[in-house]
Amino acid sequence: MAEMTQEDVQFFQAYLEGLECFDEGKFNDRGKELLAYQLENWLPERHGAAFEPIKRKAGPVVAVEAVIIHEGQVLLEWRLHPVFGEGWHTPGTYPKESETFIEAVVRCARDETGLEVRPFEVLKVFDQIGSPRFRDAPILYRCQVVGGLIAQPAVDPEKPVGGDCAWFEECPPNMLPIQQDYAPYINEAIRHMWHLVTPQQTA
């Protein structure tokens, strides 16, 4: 493999900065996603093999998912992912070193949907041993909407584009494949929340 020169490094860094991959000199979520895609798809060892040393050293990685429920519906975002495929998914992220899990949920919901939320209950903690990228442990947080507006509402939920958000009375069959196991817990949370809210609204 050819050795990269300092000029190559500077060019690549400028390229990543142009794609807005850094925040305060560190990789942001976009930068991490691009790096993951490069390791998994552009190197000779495909399908995540390049991540094996990281898997062995780091172990499971904690992720947080915002299950945003309002008036008997859950807000989902359409995603096109190079590893996980396409489908509706809960807004999720990996907490930064400087923030709590709750702060990460709030940040992610704001960044991905435009809504301000209040996480108030853990629905489920998963251990995704067979994840196609690396083993992670998503935590599903049930969230209440406290403000904001949806940044990119879906014009047609039947024909979504990346970043579209839409409300559902239950999880649709075309959830992101890796999140299919979330559906029963989200649907139960929707039914439970609607049961609690309805009497107050009709009183």
Number of domains in the chain: 2
Closest C-alpha to 134, from 44, 65, 32, 19: 32
> Which pLDDT value is given to residue 102?
97
- 186 and 105, same domain (yes or no): yes
Contacts of 15 (CB under 8 A, 6+ apart): none
Placement of tokens 């945003």 in the chain: 68
Q: Over 90: is that where the pLDDT of 151 sits? A: yes
- 184 and 120, same domain (yes or no): yes
- 44 and 68, same domain (yes or no): no
Cα–Cα–Cα angle for 12, 97, 79, rounded to 5 degrees: 65
- 84 and 114, same domain (yes or no): yes
- 144 and 163, same domain (yes or no): yes
Residue 187 structure tokens: 């649907």
> Which pLDDT value is given to residue 36?
67
Q: Which domain holds residue 34?
A: 1-58
* pLDDT band at residue 33 under the 50/70/90 scheme: confident
Higher-confidence position of 30 and 57: 30
Mean pLDDT estimate for the chain: 81
- 14 and 81, same domain (yes or no): no
- 146 and 189, same domain (yes or no): yes
Region of poorest pLDDT, from 27-31, 52-56, 90-94, 147-151: 52-56
Placement of tokens 């429920």 in the chain: 69
Higher-confidence position of 54 and 159: 159
Q: Of 17, 34, 58, at which residue does a domain stop?
A: 58
Higher-confidence position of 44 and 22: 22
- 65 and 20, same domain (yes or no): no
CA-based end-to-end distance of the chain: 71
> Which pLDDT value is given to residue 192?
80
Rg (CA), the chain: 19
Residue type, 80: L
> Which pLDDT value is given to residue 166?
97
- 164 and 180, same domain (yes or no): yes
CATH number of the domain to which 123 belongs? 3.90.79.10
Q: Of 19, 38, 58, at which residue does a domain stop?
A: 58
58, with CB counted inside 10 A (0-12, 13-18, 19+), is: exposed
Tell me the pLDDT tens digit for each residue of 39-98: 666 554 444 555 555 555 556 778 899 999 999 999 999 998 777 789 999 999 988 888
* Mean of pLDDT values over 27-40: 71
Rounded CA-CA distance 170/149 in Å is: 21
Please state the pTM of the whole predicted model: 0.70
- 37 and 102, same domain (yes or no): no
- 74 and 40, same domain (yes or no): no
* pLDDT band at residue 130 under the 50/70/90 scheme: low
Q: Over 70: is that where the pLDDT of 3 sits? A: no
- 79 and 96, same domain (yes or no): yes
Q: Of 22, 40, 58, at which residue does a domain stop?
A: 58
Rounded CA-CA distance 96/93 in Å is: 9
Rounded CA-CA distance 148/134 in Å is: 33
